[in-house]
Chain A
């Protein structure tokens, strides 16, 4: 079983839709969580950190449920430019990042 698991999708949604991605992680001792965005043939870039209390950045909301070891990302009012792969990430010991497989989002006009 992978340490971080995500549904690879693809998720195909119309512009303006709300879409949610989920992931689970296996190490209950994990302390830091992130969502990264990766455009096709580009490097991953930090989208947002995920905090226990939940956090929001514009149209993006991230939630963490430590009891269920579950992380989510909600995107409201999807734009064409949101089309990308979204990577769920847990920080491991020594600071290394442990990535999920990624969920592909395609926003259509």
Chain B
């Protein structure tokens, strides 16, 4: 069956540009997470949605980062005025319900390079 999909898979932006990264979770999955993975590091949590509600945004590194999930399905992570330190792979994960023990399934990620 269809897993988590993300688009674009690769994005090159000039410093100062705004970017929008899309995540399509597995159909019916209530919980959606965004993570940032820098080169040579493990993924780091950015934000969490339960349906359309953003319940935790404690990992967003600055107010340039904004995420939304208006209809409780597709989510978009927007980065304004990109900086070189934003270069990373952005991973989206979804899980079936809000239960803490549900497995998170990851998408292939969007590799962002800021020049």
Question: Which residues does A use to contact B, with CB under 8 Å?
Answer: 4, 8, 31-32, 42-46, 87, 91-102
Contacts and interface: CB of A to CB of B under 8 A. Distances in A.
B31 A43 contact: no
The 3 tightest CB contacts between A and B, nearest first, are A99-B42, A43-B106, A96-B45
The dominant DSSP class at the A interface is mixed
Given A32-B101, A97-B35, A101-B40, 13 more contacts: A43-B108, A44-B43, A46-B103, A46-B104, A94-B48, A95-B48, A95-B95, A95-B100, A96-B48, A97-B43, A97-B45, A99-B42, A100-B42
Nearest to B97: A95
Contacts of B108: 42-43
A45 B100 contact: no
A108 B87 CA distance: 32
B59 interface: yes
A44 B104 CA distance: 10
Nearest to A94: B56
B87 to A, nearest CB: 15
